[in-house]
């Protein structure tokens, strides 16, 4: 049985303060067994698998947390959301439809068959092929300008300066032949918009940016708040950009388990193999949970359960 089949119950919204709910969920999930660290990126296998942190930030900037708040993990695929948002901001929503595609592949996040089946079309910006294509579309005339654009965007979403986890970056750069192949295959279909090798390297580096639970929650809460960071009050992207970004998260944020996720939580979310998951309740809050042990689909076991329990308690499924 999958996690959602085990947990789905009738939604009963409760009115307790957020902190009480988070503390209770933290205790309930803290020692939950199951899953294992990603190891196809060698450095990720070495991450402390007991790290478990929860953070929820409301659109008013109120912060609720539990657990390990200082530990950082690499953002991995959650980065795809913020690169996508920046490309939509720069080029408009239409360009993602035309140049990448927005349908879910229904296949694994690094599927090559997904590219072949659609001849490079409809590859979705939240799985590896579409994400590398999105990185290739980021404004900038060269590697440095594109990288600077990405880090500036992420820092604004987080409201603080983020740094690359160099061992993770080096580890993945040495083992990302599959992503390189994906980039070259897309290039062959005319669906890569910058040098494939450099685009893959920038993508690999963006995935290695380190975040703690609170930084990740700040990024999610900026989406919840229509593109304005609730902590710094800075406008990062437009409400229109947020709307289109959340739509893609709803269809493909948890890869081939995205349907189960949306069915259970009703919220757009995004996972990463570093162990983080974010979810966004528009107009209310952004939430982030970190727990490095993953299920078969590559989604954090504890983070899925924790967010599900919190959302169930606070709102029920808003759909």
Which residue shows structure tokens 């990448």? 100
**Closer residue to ligand DON in complex, CB, 109/147:** 109
CB–CB of 203/135 below 8 Å?
yes
CB–CB of 153/85 below 8 Å?
yes
Beta-bridge mates of residue 57 = 63, 286
CA gap 68, 213 in Å, rounded: 8
Binding range to ligand DON, per CB under 6 A, among 51-59, 112-120, 159-167, 267-275? 267-275
- Per-residue x/- mask for ligand DON, residues 273 to 312, rule CB under 6 A? x------------------------xx-------------
Type and span of the H or E element at 308 = helix 301-314
CA gap 130, 95 in Å, rounded: 13
Asked if 245 is part of the footprint of ligand DON (rule: CB under 6 A), the reply reads no
**Closer residue to ligand DON in complex, CB, 65/299:** 299
Structure tokens at 185: 């295959």
Q: Which of 207, 211, 264, 310 binds ligand DON (CB under 6 A)?
A: 207
Binding range to ligand DON, per CB under 6 A, among 140-148, 156-164, 222-230, 266-274? 266-274
Binding range to ligand DON, per CB under 6 A, among 8-16, 214-222, 237-245, 271-279? 271-279
Count the neighbouring beta carbons within 10 Å of the beta carbon of residue 124: 30
**Smallest gap, in angstroms, from Cβ of residue 43 to ligand DON?**
11
CA gap 237, 259 in Å, rounded: 27
**Smallest gap, in angstroms, from Cβ of residue 75 to ligand DON?**
8
Structure tokens at 303: 């983070």
Question: End-to-end CA distance of the chain, in Å?
Answer: 24
Residue 128, marked binder? yes
Asked if 110 is part of the footprint of ligand DON (rule: CB under 6 A), the reply reads yes
Q: Which residues of 68-78 are buried (b: 16+ CB within 10 A; e: fewer)?
A: bbebbbbbbbb
Q: Which of 4, 58, 65, 77 binds ligand DON (CB under 6 A)?
A: 77
Residue 179, marked binder? yes
CA gap 86, 245 in Å, rounded: 10
**What is the number of the residue whose Cβ is closest to ligand DON?**
77
**Closer residue to ligand DON in complex, CB, 249/273:** 273
Beta-bridge mates of residue 278 = 270, 288
**Smallest gap, in angstroms, from Cβ of residue 197 to ligand DON?**
15
Structure tokens at 286: 């952004």
- Per-residue x/- mask for ligand DON, residues 29 to 58, rule CB under 6 A? ------------------------------
Q: Which residues bind ligand DON (CB under 6 A)?
A: 76-77, 109-110, 128, 172, 179, 207, 271-273, 298-299
Q: Which residues line the annotated binding site?
A: 77, 128, 172, 179, 203, 255, 273
């Amino acid at each position: 049985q999958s996690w959602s089949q085990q947990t789905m119950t009738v939604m009963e919204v409760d009115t307790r303060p957020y902190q009480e709910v988070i503390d209770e969920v933290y205790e309930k999930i803290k020692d939950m067994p199951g899953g294992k660290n990603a190891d196809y990126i060698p450095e990720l296998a070495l991450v402390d698998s007991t790290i478990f942190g929860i953070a929820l930030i409301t659109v008013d900037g109120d912060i609720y947390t539990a657990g390990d708040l200082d530990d950082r993990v690499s953002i991995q695929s959650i980065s795809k959301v913020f690169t996508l948002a920046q490309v939509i901001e720069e080029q408009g929503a239409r360009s993602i439809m035309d140049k990448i595609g927005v349908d879910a592949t229904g296949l694994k996040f690094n599927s090559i068959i997904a590219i072949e089946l659609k001849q490079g079309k409809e590859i979705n910006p939240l799985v590896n092929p579409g994400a590398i294509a999105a990185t290739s579309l980021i404004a900038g005339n060269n590697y440095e300008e594109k990288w600077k654009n990405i880090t500036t965007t992420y820092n604004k979403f987080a409201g603080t300066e983020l740094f690359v986890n160099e061992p993770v970056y080096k580890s993945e750069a040495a083992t990302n032949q599959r992503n390189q192949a994906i980039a070259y295959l897309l290039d062959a279909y005319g669906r890569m918009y910058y040098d494939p090798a450099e685009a893959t390297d920038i993508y690999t580096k963006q995935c290695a940016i380190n975040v703690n639970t609170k930084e990740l929650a700040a990024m999610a809460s900026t989406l919840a708040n229509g593109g304005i960071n609730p902590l710094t009050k800075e406008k990062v992207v437009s409400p229109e950009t947020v709307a289109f970004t959340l739509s893609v998260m709803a269809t493909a944020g948890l890869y081939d388990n995205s349907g189960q996720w949306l069915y259970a939580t009703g919220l757009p979310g995004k996972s990463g193999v570093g162990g983080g998951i974010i979810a966004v309740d528009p107009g209310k809050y952004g939430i982030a949970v970190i727990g490095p042990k993953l299920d078969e689909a590559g989604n954090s076991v504890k983070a899925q359960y924790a967010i599900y329990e919190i959302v169930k308690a606070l709102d029920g499924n808003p759909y």
